[in-house]
Amino acid sequence: MRHDWIFDVLKDLRSFAQRNGLPALAAQVDTAMRVAHAEIGAGEMMPKPGDAEAQEGIPPGGRPH
């Protein structure tokens, strides 16, 4: 995964928030991490140009029209 750095940044921010008595910020960072995992993970699973699925005419969303 080429976006691993964002998870490191979010983990650092969550640790900072926890150490400094900012529980609401820590909770929001947890939410951001879940969203990042969902969006980045979904993007990584999409076919890249040149993949077999892309050559068969399946759109990037994975559903034919």
pLDDT at 36: 94
> What DSSP designation does 2 have?
T
Paired tokens of 3: 């976006």
Give Cβ neighbours of residue 1 (< 8 Å, ≥ 6 apart).
Answer: 40, 44
pLDDT at 44: 65
Alpha-carbon separation of residue 62 from 9, 45, 48, 49, 55 (angstroms): 31, 10, 12, 13, 12
pLDDT at 11: 96
Consecutive 10-residue averages of pLDDT for the chain (65 residues): 88 98 98 95 65 53 57
